[in-house]
Structure 1
Amino acid sequence: MMDIEAKIREDMRTLGCSSDLKISLAYHLYVYLVDVKLMYDTEYCYNKDVDALYIVARPSKRDKMNIYVPVPTHEDVNMEFIGVLQQNLCTIETGPSINLAFIDGDLSTVIYTFTKGIVERPTPEKVAERRMREERRMFIDNELRKKKNEILNDAMNGGFVDDDECQVIE
């Protein structure tokens, strides 16, 4: 049986990408967005016109799909390159923004967003609301991680829930 990493890398190759470097960077970015950034609906894609292997994902369930292009830090990036990516990858669904994920040799990753045209800044209320949602999401994720073994053990052994311990959260 093929392990998951090998299957994902083979899928990326099957999409049309023949560059081992691009496949490695895209695989790392895919895992980073899923496991570290906890993105939703994460998928890898390939555009043969610009020979770009990239990832699309939603930062939250309600957000639009965002485009993430892995770029090695040693590669020169200029506005023409970014413009070509935006022209070929951006759609009505994603909007005019593209995220370049700069990945260093030690796999540290920094993401910068580039947007065509002028975009309205979110109101302070929207920023506070988004921050609160993210903090809540991180808290829940941390709690789930802390109790992961207990949850898995209960699931495997037909766990028991005491009705007195349940609370209705509104």
Structure 2
Amino acid sequence: MDVETKIKEDMRALGCNSDTKITLAYHLYTHLVDEKLMYDTEYCFNKDVNTLYVVARPSKHAKMNIYVPIPTSFDVTMEFINKLQTNLCTVETGPTINLAFIEGDFTIVIYSFTKGLVDRLAAEKITEQRTREARRSFINSELKKSKEKIINEALNGGFVEDYDCQGSSRV
């Protein structure tokens, strides 16, 4: 029996009966093991949400991350993501879930979703923040334009006009 068949049989034994979910999870699993070189990679099945997923560590001492294979044709909603986070996230993994969108040619793109990360700002606050950033950017650009002149004047003590002598002299 080859490795692919063995892994897919193990996934089916966990309780997943969908050939599509098994195929997607298998490709995600091999992607994380072979291409991303993840540690402690395992596949799991959650009956409450009927989801086959993979857990892995990006580095030896990192926390476990959850990766859920999703076909690109599937419409993902915030309700779906919240349901996954509620049923799959643990204290060990934290509030983040990674959705691995898999194309028909098995190209994989992974997006992370973290529950409770940031509240959305009000429209006035966004405008205020953009205005502040624009001002900061303007000041920085003006300082960059005059940087050499400012540094030279600071190092040389500036120029002082001496009316008793011809021209100017350094102090």
Question: Could you state the TM-score of these two structures normalised by the residue count of structure 1?
Answer: 0.69
Structure 1 counterpart of 2:103:
104
Identify unmatched segments of 5+ residues in structure 2.
119-171
Which amino acid is 1:60 matched to? S
TM (norm. structure 2) is 0.68
2:16 is aligned with 1:17: yes
2:115 corresponds to which residue?
116
User: How much has 1:44 moved relative to structure 2?
Assistant: 0.1
* AA matched with 2:100: A
Q: Which string of whole-angstrom CA distances, capped at 9 and with x for unpartnered residues, describes residues 71-120 of structure 1? A: 0000000100000000000000000000000000011000000000127x
The separation in 2 between residues aligned to 1:51 and 1:69, in whole angstroms, is 11
What residue number does 2:64 align with? 65
1:54 match: secondary structure:
strand
Measure the CA separation in 2 of the matches of 1:42 and 1:112: 18
Runs of 4+ in 1 over 6 A off after TM superposition: none
Match of 2:121 in 1: none
Partner of 1:86: 85
What secondary structure is seen at the aligned counterpart in 2 of 1:94? Answer: coil
State percent identity of aligned pairs: 74
- Residue 34 (structure 2) aligns with: 35
Q: Secondary structure of the equivalent of 1:101?
A: strand
The residue that corresponds to 1:77 in the other structure is: 76
Kindly report the root-mean-square deviation, in angstroms, between the aligned alpha carbons of the 2 structures: 0.8
Q: Which residue of 2 aligns with 1:45?
A: 44
Give the 3-state SS of the residue equivalent to 1:60 in structure 2.
Answer: coil
- Counterpart of 1:21, as a letter, is T
Cross-structure match for 2:53: 54
Which secondary structure state, in structure 1, belongs to the residue aligned with residue 94 of structure 2? coil
Deviations 1:14-72 (A, max 9, x none): 00000000000000000000000000000000000000000000000111000000000
Letter in 2 for 1:45: C
Structure number, greater radius of gyration = 2
